[in-house]
């Protein structure tokens, strides 16, 4: 009898351990922007306030240049674009911890990513969402590291996340770091 209860408990836990949505069966997703709320910037001379302004500009640049920043290239056609929730989170970034003058690695585990996705205030109640979660911007290395995250909107459960690095470059703070996102998109098209 104990073995039956153990089997039932194991099966129940296995259903909760993995998302119920299969990304290959999803036709389209909703795009929610680039979440910079927990990013770390290494060895940059610009002020935290300048970065926070650039983060807003990067999110709006992606909307104004849809051919260059075609988020559907990351895996699925886009139905709805709504960056409001991410913009609000980005406005409240802790300026003291944003820029660090040392080398290092800022990496999010699945639990941290899950907590971040759980904070999104979204109008949609179902479907699949896509967000880019910025992990680190490394000025000496000229790279931006982002997690491409697909999640179930109803449960906020992560379906799939991949860590990607893109080369930064260009004139001005906005263009310099937005280029790393453009490179990630370009790599995904291959």
Chain position carrying tokens 């003058």: 101
The token duo for 64 is 């104004």
10-residue averages of pLDDT along the chain (190 residues): 40 41 90 98 97 98 94 94 97 95 90 98 97 97 97 97 97 97 89
Torsion, Cα 69 75 78 80, to 10 degrees, reads -100
What pLDDT, on the 0 to 100 scale, is given for residue 105? 86
- Two structure tokens written together for 121: 């205030």
Q: What sections of 84-143 are H helices per DSSP?
A: 84-91, 95-98, 110-118
* HSE-CB for 185 with a 13 A CA cutoff: 19
Q: What is the pLDDT of residue 20?
A: 54
pLDDT of residue 41: 97
**Model pLDDT, residue 5:** 39
Give the Cα separation of 137 and 73 in Å (integer): 22
| Spatial CB neighbours of 105, under 8 Å, sequence gap ≥ 6 | 136
Q: How far apart are the first and last CA of the chain?
A: 54
């Amino acid at each position: 009898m104990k073995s039956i209860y153990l089997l039932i408990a194991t099966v129940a836990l296995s259903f909760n351990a993995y998302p119920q949505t299969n990304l290959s069966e999803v036709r389209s997703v909703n795009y929610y922007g680039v979440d910079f709320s927990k990013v770390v910037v290494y060895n940059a001379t610009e002020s935290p306030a300048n970065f926070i302004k650039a983060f807003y500009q990067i999110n709006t640049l992606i909307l104004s240049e849809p051919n260059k920043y075609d988020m559907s290239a990351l895996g699925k056609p886009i139905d709805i674009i709504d960056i409001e929730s991410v913009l609000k989170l980005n406005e409240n970034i802790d300026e003291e911890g944003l820029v660090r003058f040392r080398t290092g690695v800022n990496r999010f585990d699945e639990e941290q990513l899950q907590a971040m996705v759980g904070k999104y205030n979204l109008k949609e109640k179902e479907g699949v969402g896509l967000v880019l979660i910025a992990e680190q911007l490394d000025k000496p290395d000229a790279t931006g590291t982002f997690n491409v995250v697909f999640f179930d909107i109803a449960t906020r459960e992560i379906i799939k996340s991949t860590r990607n690095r893109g080369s930064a470059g260009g004139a001005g703070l906005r263009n310099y770091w937005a280029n790393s996102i453009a490179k990630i998109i370009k790599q995904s098209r291959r």
